[in-house]
Amino acid sequence: DTGVSQDPRHKITKRGQNVTFRCDPISEHNRLYWYRQTLGQGPEFLTYFQNEAQLEKSRLLSDRFSAERPKGSFSTLEIQRTEQGDSAMYLCASRGGGETQYFGPGTRLLVL
């Protein structure tokens, strides 16, 4: 069990560019979550996958955001036409049969 991993750990981009983040969950965890966290706040839910199916999306997930989980393994989160307001820590979490979600180290995005 190597834990949840995320790549890259840091990303600096210019406004209007597209970015993509990757999350590798704990092996055999079939549930995967994306959250966004800004300074001084707790993580806020973005979207949820069970296996390869995207079952829930928050209203925070605008149409510039898209997430995939092909084959129910790793997941990607893409942000198109980035805005300065997208600057945040993007967290991935996975869950197996229990209730507990285990988080990765996060990807810190800065949009200039």
84 backbone φψ class: left, alpha, beta (φ>0; ψ -120 to 50)? alpha
* Three-state DSSP state, 74: coil
Q: How many residues bind other proteins (CB under 8 A)?
A: 26
The 31-70 contact track toward other proteins, x by CB under 8 A, reads: x-x-x----xxxxxx--x-x----xx-x------------
- Token readout for 43 is 């993580």
Binding residues (CB under 8 A) for other proteins: these are 4, 6, 31, 33, 35, 40-45, 48, 50, 55-56, 58, 91, 99-106, 108
